[in-house]
Amino acid sequence: MVHRSKITTLTEFIIQRQSEYPHAKGALTRLLNDIATAAKIVNREINAAGLVDILGTIGKENIQGETQKKLDVFANEMFITALKGGGECCAIASEENEKVVSFSNEFSELGKYVVAMDPLDGSSNIEANVSIGTIFSIYRRVTEAGGGTQQDLLQPGVNLAAAGYIIYGSSTMLVYSTGKGVNGFTLDPSVGIFCLSHPDMRFPEPANIYSINEGNYIHFPEGVKQYIKYCQENDPETFRPYTSRYIGSLVADFHRNLIKGGIFLYPGTTKNPNGKLRLLYECNPIAYIAEQAGGKASNGFKRILNIDPETLHQRSPFYTGPKWMVDKVEELLQQNSE
Ligand code: P6P
């Protein structure tokens, strides 16, 4: 009889970690569990998507002007319902909503946290059965009372209380941090429990993957063009040429690079100087995880987590991975900007 070693569930782990914060009252613990619960339901729908009529589009566009997929809308509604019902969150910023979704509840004290999320990132890949993900970031509210406001959400990433992502792939994983390292939990679908499978995740050394959509090459800044050539040079001592890997799904690309070692680049271009990725609910949470895993995240000139957001859906160029890889991109970008 093979006995599996002690299994640590996500709930047990969060509660264990809560004890390390003397003033914690369990609110963040409950909020993280609310996110995990919604993720399980979204996971179930994604896995069934190919069988029922939930693929495809709903014939509308979101704030981004992107065609909304039925699963996008379902995931958004699921997370909003779970967070509103959980009572620990007083407002949400979502890629699927133009404005802040504010909770006002005259019956009980409102939550002390706000959440910025991309409920289903990479959804254009759903029909191709490519891994997609949910990205979330959690701040303590800065306003005193009433429903949460935009002011509570427009905080720099350095203020994050927690952040993470769920990757719906060959297995479904929840990866998160509350500022004391990164831990990954794999969903056991037979019992619907997230189990600790990747304790203390850190970018491995050496690393030799670079991830970028080279189809945009002619529109990249000169420093990025030089970095791509640097990746392709033959220098075994620095593990080059690197391997190019790009899925086109941020969570999947980042998660692979965190596990195997590599840098993800989504530069600004001449057409879109701020790139494509959203600061609040894509760059910041992934940057938080990257730093907690010993890496770095930059817009090419500034630490992502130090950027003061001005609008909910603002974009940022995004470079993230092992520190020495991001340093090289910054060096070339800054050399070519003078
Ligand atoms: P491109 C998915 O649509 C997404 O927002 C991210 O998940 C992904 O990293 C990026 O866009 C891919 O963009 O322009 O390479 O297709």
Taking CA atoms only, the protein residue closest to ligand 1 atom 10 is 248
CA of 252 to the centre of ligand 1 (A): 11
CB–CB of 6/54 below 8 Å? no
Angle at 136 between CA 276 and CA 251, to 5 degrees: 55
Ligand 1 atom nearest to CA at 277: 5
Q: How much is the pLDDT for 58?
A: 59
Q: How much is the pLDDT for 290?
A: 98
CA of 235 to the centre of ligand 1 (A): 30
Q: Which amino acid is at 236?
A: P
Taking CA atoms only, the protein residue closest to ligand 1 atom 2 is 122
pLDDT in tens, 62-98: 666 665 568 889 999 999 999 999 989 999 999 999 9
Q: How much is the pLDDT for 109?
A: 67
Tell me the pTM.
Answer: 0.93
- Architecture of 4-198 per CATH? 2-Layer Sandwich (3.30)
Domain boundaries, the chain: 4-198, 209-335
CA of 213 to the centre of ligand 1 (A): 9
CA distances from 209 to 192, 237, 257, 325 (A): 33, 15, 7, 10
Residue ranges for the chain with pLDDT beneath 70: 1-5, 49-69, 106-109
Ligand 1 atom nearest to CA at 264: 9
Q: How much is the pLDDT for 226?
A: 98
Query: How far apart (Å, rounded) are the C-alpha atoms in residues 330 and 322?
Result: 13
Ligand 1 atom nearest to CA at 252: 7
Q: Does domain 209-335 have CATH number 3.40.190.80?
A: yes
Q: How much is the pLDDT for 47?
A: 83
Which residues approach ligand 1 with their CB closer than 6 A? 121-122, 124, 213, 248-250, 253, 276
Taking CA atoms only, the protein residue closest to ligand 1 atom 5 is 122
Helix axes 27-48, 70-86, angle to 10 degrees: 160
CB–CB of 32/24 below 8 Å? no
